[in-house]
Amino acid sequence: MRLFLRIFPLVLIFAGALLVFERPAYAYADPGTGLLAIQAVGSALVAGGWYLRRKIYALFHRDSAPKVESTRLPVPEDTEG
């Protein structure tokens, strides 16, 4: 985790520098391209929410979370001698 916290800011700085020093493309993007980008972002948000649904539920329902009882069998005591 520490390695991630050291590398992540550098990646953000690099990505920001790429955006600042961007060259003009002189290309055409049709109207469907913007809609495709919006759809991709929306899909990523929904997929992230689905993947983290239990953590999100636990965040809003801390007090009413159902208690899970153990289903383990009791360990028999040693009855030697």
Q: With a cut of 60, say whether residue 21 has pLDDT above it.
A: yes
pLDDT in tens, 38-78: 999 999 999 998 888 888 888 888 776 556 666 676 666 76
Q: Which residue reads 């539920």 in tokens? A: 57
The answer to whether 37 and 44 are in contact (CB under 8 A) is no
Kindly tell me the sign of the dihedral angle through the C-alpha atoms of 17, 20, 26, 28: positive
pTM: 0.41
- At 55, list the tokens: 């953590």
